Amino acid sequence: MQRKAVLALTAAVVAVAAGQAVMVLAPAVRASTALLPVPRPAAPPPAAIAMGRDGHYWAQAQINGQSVRMLVDTGATVVSLTAADARRIGLDPDSLTYGLKVATAAGEARAARITLPSVAVDGAVVRNVDALVLDRDTDASLLGMSFLRRLSGFEANPDTLRLHP
C-alpha cells in the first residue's frame, strides 16, 4: 500500500512539474510566433501607359462602365470631362450648374462640379473622384490630380507612365 502511495505521489509530482514546464515554455513559444511577419496580399501591378507619338500620356479610363480617352495631366487639379465625354458616361451636361470659372489651356471656361463613383485605369481604381464638366468642349478630358493623388504612387519614365494602385 505504501508503495502505491509513493508511486501515486511521484506521478503527481511529475505531472505538476511537467505542467509547470509547459506553462513556462508556452509564453516563449507564443512570443516567438508573435514576431513572425504577417503575410500581406500582393499589391496589384502598376498600370502602364505608353507615351503617345505627340509626347503626352493618354489613358483609357473606365467611368460608369464607359471607356473615356483622357490626357494624364499632373497640372490639372481635378479630373475634367468634356461635355461629349460627360454624355458618353450618362450625364446630361445641360442639366448641370456651371457655377465655377476655371482656367484651361484653351482659356477660361465655366465648369460644373460632380463626383464620379469610380475611375479605373488598367486596374488602378479610385472611388468617389472629384471632377468637373466643362461647359464647352475642349480638346480632351483630363485625368488630373483628384485621381492621381489618391493612388499609392505614380512615376514617369521617358516612354511610360506607371500608376500604382
pLDDT of residue 33: 59
Q: pLDDT tens digits, the chain, 165 residues: what are they? A: 555 544 444 545 445 444 554 445 555 555 555 667 777 778 789 999 999 999 999 999 999 999 999 999 999 999 999 999 999 999 999 999 999 999 988 889 999 999 999 999 999 999 999 999 999 878 999 999 999 999 999 999 999 999 999
d(CA 62, CA 67): 5
Cα 26 from chain centre? 40
Assign residue 90 a region (left: φ > 0; alpha: ψ between -120 and 50; beta: otherwise).
left
Provide the H-helix boundaries in 35-140. Answer: 83-88
* pTM of the entire predicted model: 0.75
3-state secondary structure 88-104: HCCCCHHHCCCCEEEEE
CATH topology of domain 47-164: Cathepsin D, subunit A; domain 1 (2.40.70)
Strands 124-134 and 141-143: unpaired
pLDDT of residue 43: 78
pLDDT of residue 103: 92
